[in-house]
Amino acid sequence: MHDHPALHAALRDHDRVVPVFCLDRHLLGGRHASGPRTQFMLESLADLDASLRDRGSRLIVRSGLPERELPALARELEVRSVHFTADISPYARKRDERVSKLLEDAGVAVRAHAGL
């Protein structure tokens, strides 16, 4: 958690923070998918969840298309602001633009932060 700019900014700016990760099915099954890469990601998410639980929180993990999952979760939780870690791959940039637009159209403020 110490090296996560988006999480630090959210904690600094808001009283209530809900950490979320969406398992993007395009990345899990895409051409760059591999067993070791997926295993590393899942272990990293488990470590993050354990750190959050030590602090009285938890990581919400959704699986599917981020364009569907994240706006739906934002509506469900009545979110007013979303902070996220920007990715640099062409696919991720386009995905982040689509998700950001959907959130902004729903009245949610969106802030991208530099990656790790």
Of 4 and 6, more confident: 6
Cα dist from 80 to 25, 73, 74, whole Å: 26, 12, 8
> What tens digit of pLDDT does each residue of 31-83 get?
767 788 888 989 999 999 999 999 999 999 999 999 999 999 999 999 999 99
**What pTM was estimated for this model as a whole?**
0.86
Question: For residue 116, what pLDDT band results from cuts at 50, 70 and 90?
Answer: low
Closest alpha carbon to 22 in 106, 92, 105, 109: 92
- The pLDDT mean for the chain works out to 91
> Distances in Å between the alpha carbon of 7 and those of 13, 32, 40, 105, 112?
10, 26, 20, 23, 11
* Residues 6+ away with beta carbon under 8 Å from 61: 20, 21, 22, 23, 45, 49
Domains of the chain, start order: 5-113 (3.40.50.620)
| 115: pLDDT strictly greater than 90 | no
